[in-house]
Structure 1
Amino acid sequence: MGREFNDLFDEWSQSYDDTVAGSDPQYADVFLHYNSILDQVAERATGNVIEFGVGTGNLTEKLLSRGLRVFGIEPSEGMRKIANEKMPGLHVQDGDFLTLPALPDEIDSIVSTYAFHHLTDKEKGEAIRLYSDLLHKDGRIIFGDTIFATDKAKMEMIAQAKRKKYGRLAADLLREYYTTIPIMQNIFNRNGFEVSFTKCNPFVWIMDARKSTN
């Protein structure tokens, strides 16, 4: 359920903020318009918010600045340490997309950026089914993450990374569980959500899902 990547993220925690700022050419397109992506996710969230994959707390800060009540969940000890140091008043809890700490009864929004791809497609389905039960009738899921329009588009991006000799990026795209829009559309729809997809850069889309009133 994503925790197989914890060692990677503990190691990456010290340089993560530099990477998202564009210091690593291999990941420049992945994090293109990074702050705008976070802003778009934060602007759509309301009320009591669960944030999965807090990382170093960059989205969390934007959510808090909007006066939202945030329940941060992060499996990586290294990332949690940095996030808690940035925001001493907020206790980021150990957990993951499928292993939740104690939460309030009323959840309005569930958000995440650059993290949901650490679940397999089967686990993604389990997670969205769980969130359907957690959210009230007007609840919303807003995820900004790397997904692809089709399997062909995914393979083309892997081939492009290899041509550029971006070995680490190509390995990530092959190792982690990046999925496609049709698969996510099906997962959301069968769990009672209406969902839209907005492309933000060559890799990242915002998935905005609302519980259906039908």
Structure 2
Amino acid sequence: MRLVLASNNAKKLKELQALFAALPIELVTQGSLGVTEAEEPFHTFVENGLAKARHASVATGLPAIADDSGLCVDALGGQPGVASAHFAPLPEAAAGHSDREALRRLQDEANNSLLLQRLAGAADRRARFVSTLVAVRSAADPEPLIAFGRWEGTVLAQPVGSGGFGYDPLLHIPALGRAVAELPAELKNQHSHRALAARQLAALMRGAWRLG
């Protein structure tokens, strides 16, 4: 089965391809099919995930999977939450950049910097990565499959590690004794919020969609 991933994030595509490797599906990004990104006007991951999956399915006529995920910090009342990807304004250095991955790196750096500013002096640094995966057979699918994953950690005082993306250099996972950006991809794909959600979604797809 060919499914369109409602994202243009190459690293997210690679991660999800690894997580769904056991299923008979082919994931392709919406960007490779000429689909623009959907509006994400809602306050919850599940609502935005549904909006993105339906948008991709409408545009392509294919079943779609969307991941809406982010970092929720207790001391900030759950922020940055659904605004995680664009928590901070793009820095001036981004002006004139046309390379999507370069812009994403600049945005990540700005987001991490703002998060550390907001948490300056905070005693409570508990946080979690949250992933909501949504799959629809069509834009009008009355029975979307929805899976959730939560990965508990604490926000560090400064970034460490060079792997992953987004807030990975700042979230320390006590159970593993390392920041997410310090984990090899194989270990991350076993324990992450997205891995937890992917395992749930794979089980739902095997049952409801008769895959695998």
What TM-score does the superposition give when structure 1 sets the normalisation length?
0.28
Q: Which has the higher helix share?
A: 1
What TM-score does the superposition give when structure 2 sets the normalisation length?
0.28
